[in-house]
Amino acid sequence: MEVTASSVLVLPFTPASVGVARRRLVSDLIEAGLYGSAVSDAALVLSELLSNALRHGTPLPGSRLRVAWHLDADSVRVSVSDGGAPTRPELGEPTQSTTGGRGLRIVAKLSRRWGTGSDEEGTTVWAEVELSQLTAVAVPAAAAETG
Amino acid sequence: MELNVSSRFHDDHTIVTICGEIDLYTAPRLHSELAALLADGMPARVVIDMSGVDFCDSTGMNVLLSCLRRARERGGELEIAAPRPAVRKILQVTGLDSVFTLVPDADAAGLSEPKPAVPRN
């Protein structure tokens, strides 16, 4: 069964790219047979990583950033690369009613693991969203039952 | 469609219907629309009908949270009506489901009787 999907997008370093990348990811995952929370969790994780890069990072050369995802049998790995920032990504500790600091906590909660890397080009933040049995490609019959 | 915001004005509350996606790109416009509704002289009770929102991330949550704070400063409230599963998920994951007043649908909000937070259907 074909469960592998990989994409790399190089997009302008602007807020409009968040939705562009997210919609491409969602359509790739649906095309690969995923649905439900696997798709929406991956979309949320990607949106948070991209928002962080745009807020705290710097562009790659040419005022760009790079987004990639890879789907395998039991997870979706998404990653966002920018030109780096003066500070490393950190989990915020927001109180319930403060604004801000939530993005990476959401990533940490929705992914089985996440991490950062840096090289001469800049910083990459990645996260792996696990596919549960209910949302995995192998059991599409569950879709009809939940409708 | 990226984001549409429309408002209906009642005597003691305003119903704001949001359709589309709330993220880093669309959040500033949502913030300015909601801030205008929470200006002095307007009802401080705002019901956000989110039944047409198919995506919202932490940037969107922060907009709603700052407007909730503004409404409460004025003695009012900001209620979230009919969130879809993806929006309910981020409310749960962030713990904000216990901060916002959630109502099953926009027409059930703004009434004098308190409504249960979770629809029973």
Q: Does A40 touch chain B (CB under 8 A)?
A: yes
**Residue A73 binned pLDDT confidence (cut-offs 50, 70, 90):** confident
What number of CA atoms fall less than 13 Å from residue B115's CA on the CB side? 20
- Residues of B whose CB is below 8 A from A109: 93
Q: What's the farthest any 2 CA atoms get from each other in chain B? A: 38
More confident residue, B106 or A108: A108
For the stretch B1-39, pLDDT in tens is 689 999 999 888 999 999 999 999 999 999 999 999 888
> pLDDT at position A47, please?
98
Q: At what angle do helices B85-94 and B58-73 cross, to 10 degrees?
A: 70
| Mutation to test the A interface, candidates B58, B65, B84, B101, most A Cβ within 10 Å | B58
Q: Does position A3 have pLDDT exceeding 90, yes or no?
A: no
Range name among A102-106, B37-41, B78-82 with the lowest pLDDT average: B37-41
> pLDDT at position B42, please?
77
Q: Does position A51 have pLDDT exceeding 80, yes or no?
A: yes
Q: Does position B106 have pLDDT exceeding 90, yes or no?
A: no
Range name among A55-69, B35-49, B71-85 with the lowest pLDDT average: B35-49
> pLDDT at position A96, please?
57
Helix (H, G, I), strand (E, B) or coil at B6: strand
CB-CB contact of A42 with A129 (8 Å):
yes
**Residue A15 binned pLDDT confidence (cut-offs 50, 70, 90):** very high
Determine the Cα–Cα distance for residues A47 and A68; give it in Å rounded to an integer. 12
Name the residue in chain A with its Cα closest to that of B90.
A106
For the stretch A16-44, pLDDT in tens is 999 999 999 999 999 999 988 999 999 99
Choose the closest CB to A106 out of B24, B65, B93. B93
Mean pLDDT, residues A37-61:
95
Question: C-alpha distances in angstroms, A58 versus A9, A10, A15, A53?
Answer: 17, 14, 13, 7
Range B68-105 burial, b when 16+ CB lie within 10 A, else e: bbbbeeeebbbbbbbbeebbbbbbebbebbebbebbbe
Q: Does A19 touch chain B (CB under 8 A)?
A: yes
Query: pTM value?
Result: 0.86
Query: ipTM of the assembly?
Result: 0.86
Does A97 sit within 8 Å of B69, measured CB to CB?
yes
Q: Does position A66 have pLDDT exceeding 90, yes or no?
A: yes
Does A47 sit within 8 Å of B55, measured CB to CB?
yes
Q: Does B98 touch chain A (CB under 8 A)?
A: yes
Cα-flanking dihedrals φ and ψ of residue A121, to 5°?
Answer: -80, -35
The alpha carbon of residue B75 is apart from the nearest alpha carbon of chain A, in Å, by 17
Place of tokens 């984001």: B3
**Residue B112 binned pLDDT confidence (cut-offs 50, 70, 90):** very low
Rounded mean pLDDT of chain A?
A: 85
Mean pLDDT, residues B93-99:
95
Determine the Cα–Cα distance for residues B104 and A30; give it in Å rounded to an integer. 29
> pLDDT at position A95, please?
61
* Residue B11 CB partners (closer than 8 Å, separation 6+): B43
